[in-house]
Chains A and B, each alone.
Chain A
Amino acid sequence: MALVLTEEQTMLRDSARGLIGDKAPVAHLRRLRDERDATGFSRELWKSFAEMGFAGLLVPEEFGGSGLGCVEAGVVMEEIGRNLTPSPQLSTAILAASALARGGSEAQKKAYLPKLADGSLIAALAVDEGAKHRPAKIAMTATRAGNGFKLKGDKALVVDGHVADLLIVAARSAGQPGDADGLTLFLVDSKAKGVAIERTVMVDAHNAARISFDDVEVNADQVLGEVDRGGALLEAVLNVGRAAVAAEMLGVADEAFGRTVSYLKERKQFGKLIGEFQALQHRAAHLYTEIEILRAAVLKALQAVDADAVQARVAVSVAKAKAGTVATLAVQEGVQMHGGMGMTDQFDIGLFMKRARVLQELLGDSAYHAEALAEWKKY
């Protein structure tokens, strides 16, 4: 497959750029942040996302979605990244929708997918437990009880956790933390008894929550996929999410870079535009090169995930690792080249730096994914 967007994908990008840039530019995030909005995103905006088909991108047509692929999902995520738009796109439209579409029973798909697609149901994926992304180390237990299980343990950095109606929870039903097997995914009502949710206010003013599960009872029909064999499904879903987050990071990096280049062309010092200084030109050109290389790696990963989400692991790790280093460089250089202005809250560039830092940690940082590559290559 050619590593360029098709005509349809370009059209989707243009309409996403129009809608998101119009209704949810960076000022939108600022307003929610300054008002300490309880939801953390705009329900109205989410409704427009659903109408535009973004919410149902990965939901098959028979369940009310548009049945598109990860490349399309990535195209939308890149625009979200450009505008730092808070929305349940990642948690609900990408992670939850792909988990249900890939692993759900007919009944589960029927019950949830149409609601995800029409924007009426918010869902969140609860995986990580410690400070870093380590899905293999999941320790939360799912103990057999009656015809179902009892969940016990804590989850951290659950994106949109405090507004989710439905939680998709990865727990250990067998084995020890560190084992590849023994994981099971569960669909849990966020209001179920024993679920305690605490919103965490993050540096980037986006939604995240800590959730604890105190002997939460779940029925057998709340198992998503197979008991003890949820690892592969989880890996596939995480790969979709990682590629999507890499696409969002590309948007963050590219926009921060674009703003920086514009600044280089308007700010004067020593009687010159600062963009005339070769030291800055070369750093900008280096960054341009890095971003173009990231763009190709992200598209490759998205296409690979569409072809086979588990096999895509290498391409996905390359993209997410590269996204981590490139977005970090883009925002740091952005702040530096804006000088004192870059340190002010009034200027947007700092918001890009905060968002990039969170996205770096989300679903594995650069080191995690470089390590995955080394392991895959056996050295």
Chain B
Amino acid sequence: MTDLDTFRAETRAWLEANCPAEMRTPMQGDEDNFWGGRNAKFTSEAQKVWFERMRDKGWTVPDWPTQYGGGGLDGARHKILREEMAAIGARSPLSSFGIWMLGPALLKYGNEQQKAEHLPKIARGEIRWCQGYSEPNAGSDLASLQTRAESDGNDFIINGSKIWTSYANYADWIFCLVRTDPSAKKHDGISFILFDMTSKGVTTKPILLISGKSPFCETFFDNVRVPKSHVVGTINRGWDVAKYLLQHERAMISGMGGRDGGRPLGQVAADSLGSDDQGRLDDPILRGQIATFDVDEAALACAAERAVDLAKAGQLHPAFSSAMKYYGTELNKRRHEILMSAGGIDALEWESERSQEGARARAWLRTKANSIEGGTSEVMLGIVAKRILDLPGA
């Protein structure tokens, strides 16, 4: 047996022994995610046990260095762990903007003190982060943001507001883009700064979405005082950090579709529509749509796998995550359109126990944000056109 085979066998055995049965079923919506943080509550004992065991092994962030609370796994072992978790349908023990977005940016741009301070808390799920990027007049055109940070000795004083801040009302800390040089060209006067959401002058207000939920907020800053040492990277060079983080956000969002671990579409459809005497779904056109969807989904999975391998080989184009984000989110929207068709009238129920309070309809509505959040599909295509294909024009 090679070392990797041994690792696989040990990992399989460990997961088998340590992953509770309840944590091997698909998540039923946001509530099933464990987000960590100072006020975190577990929804079940199994969720707690699973999280704590994974945390103690450093497997909430398997590929981060052990000194920062990670598992220290190399690429090959990380892949094995993911495969073994997928094989038993194990849920992710911790959902976290800290893991998906801030962590990678800190690992690359943070100083030693910032890494030592923040990374272990992210790994152990102690601090929940939110992302303060978008503003009412700076969405797709993010670099036109206006939230100001003015110098006052060793501190910055921050004034302005953010919008669409997901889970700002639950978050402990925020990673935030602020304008530190109003006279510079718009990309050159931005800094990337971290601060506590309980700081004086920070308030949030939830926004209700079409899905009937309010996962995000307007966020207001009124003379918030933040030490300059909380700037990540160089002052006024925050755009580099922001862009690097966005690559990770986009890669993460592109993989979201598969993450719900849902049942295969063909089975879901057969359950509600029935099959003909040859075992074929009783709706030939929908069956064709599902088959085409399955082709695209399988091919996308190959591309995601290849992207990891290309990155390892140093051959991945830095803007490739935009292509994947675009494709993955459009595909996920298609998936939910098909789920709604397969469900028919039953999928339209909104408030009933039978429909788990309209779980399917709410999930469908939520996916419409996939091609907006983290940069819209149009913006992703623009990035591919300019940065990868090198097409001309502004």
- The answer to whether B294 and A374 touch across the interface, beta carbons within 8 angstroms, is yes
Instruction: Write out the residue numbers on chain A whose beta carbons fall within 8 Å of the beta carbon of B22.
Output: none
- The answer to whether B391 and A276 touch across the interface, beta carbons within 8 angstroms, is yes
Given contacts A289-B326, A289-B327, A379-B266, whether A284 and B302 have CB atoms under 8 Å apart is no
Could you tell me which residues of chain B, from 335 to 394, have a CB within 8 Å of some CB in chain A? 378, 380-386, 388-394
Q: Which of A284, A319, A370 has the most CB of B within 10 A?
A: A370
Could you tell me which residues of chain A, from 222 to 279, have a CB within 8 Å of some CB in chain B? 261, 264-265, 272-273, 275-278
Among residues of A, the one whose C-beta sits closest to the C-beta of B271 is A379
- The answer to whether A286 and B295 touch across the interface, beta carbons within 8 angstroms, is no
Among residues of A, the one whose C-beta sits closest to the C-beta of B315 is A4
A196 CB–B CB distance under 8 Å: no
A321 to B275, CA, bound (A): 24
Q: Given known contacts A276-B394, A293-B303, A379-B290, what 9 new A-B pairs fall within 8 Å (CB)?
A: A3-B309, A4-B310, A284-B389, A285-B389, A296-B303, A319-B299, A371-B291, A374-B294, A379-B281
- The answer to whether B290 and A374 touch across the interface, beta carbons within 8 angstroms, is yes
B393 contacts which of A281, A318, A322 (Cβ < 8 Å)? Answer: A281
- The answer to whether A370 and B299 touch across the interface, beta carbons within 8 angstroms, is no
Instruction: Write out the residue numbers on chain A whose beta carbons fall within 8 Å of the beta carbon of B380.
Output: 285
- The answer to whether A261 and B391 touch across the interface, beta carbons within 8 angstroms, is yes
A277 to B384, CA, bound (A): 14
A374 to B290, CA, bound (A): 8
- The answer to whether A379 and B280 touch across the interface, beta carbons within 8 angstroms, is yes
Shortest CB distance B266–A (Å)? 3
Instruction: Write out the residue numbers on chain B whose beta carbons fall within 8 Å of the beta carbon of A379.
Output: 264, 266-267, 269-270, 275, 279-281, 287, 290
A-B residue pairs in contact (CB < 8 Å), sample of 19: A2-B312, A3-B302, A4-B306, A265-B392, A281-B385, A281-B391, A282-B385, A285-B383, A294-B299, A296-B299, A296-B303, A317-B295, A318-B302, A371-B291, A374-B280, A378-B279, A379-B267, A379-B280, A379-B290
Interface residue range, chain A: 35 or more
Shortest CB distance B268–A (Å)? 9
Shortest CB distance A366–B (Å)? 8
Could you tell me which residues of chain B, from 302 to 333, have a CB within 8 Å of some CB in chain A? 302-303, 305-306, 309-310, 312-313, 315, 320, 323-324, 326-327
Q: Which of A273, A295, A315, A379 has the most CB of B within 10 A?
A: A379
- The answer to whether A284 and B291 touch across the interface, beta carbons within 8 angstroms, is no
Among residues of B, the one whose C-beta sits closest to the C-beta of A278 is B382
Instruction: Write out the residue numbers on chain B whose beta carbons fall within 8 Å of the beta carbon of A319.
Output: 299
Instruction: Write out the residue numbers on chain A whose beta carbons fall within 8 Å of the beta carbon of B305.
Output: 3, 296, 300
- The answer to whether A300 and B266 touch across the interface, beta carbons within 8 angstroms, is no
Shortest CB distance B282–A (Å)? 10
Q: Which A residues are closer than 8 A to B by beta carbons?
A: 2-4, 261, 264-265, 272-273, 275-278, 281-282, 284-286, 288-290, 292-297, 299-300, 314-315, 317-319, 321-322, 325, 366-367, 369-371, 373-374, 377-379
Instruction: Write out the residue numbers on chain B whose beta carbons fall within 8 Å of the beta carbon of A318.
Output: 295, 298-299, 302
Contact residues of B: prevailing secondary structure: helix
Count CB-based A-B contacts (< 8 Å): 147
B296 CB–A CB distance under 8 Å: yes
Instruction: Write out the residue numbers on chain A whose beta carbons fall within 8 Å of the beta carbon of B262.
Output: none
- The answer to whether B393 and A284 touch across the interface, beta carbons within 8 angstroms, is no
A288 contacts which of B295, B302, B382, B384 (Cβ < 8 Å)? Answer: B384
Instruction: Write out the residue numbers on chain B whose beta carbons fall within 8 Å of the beta carbon of A284.
Output: 385, 389, 391
Instruction: Write out the residue numbers on chain A whose beta carbons fall within 8 Å of the beta carbon of B391.
Output: 261, 264-265, 275-276, 281, 284
Q: Mark B160-199, 1 if CB is under 8 A from A, else 0.
A: 0000000000000000000000000000000000000000
- The answer to whether B309 and A373 touch across the interface, beta carbons within 8 angstroms, is no
Q: Which of A299, A371, A374 has the most CB of B within 10 A?
A: A374
Among residues of A, the one whose C-beta sits closest to the C-beta of B279 is A378
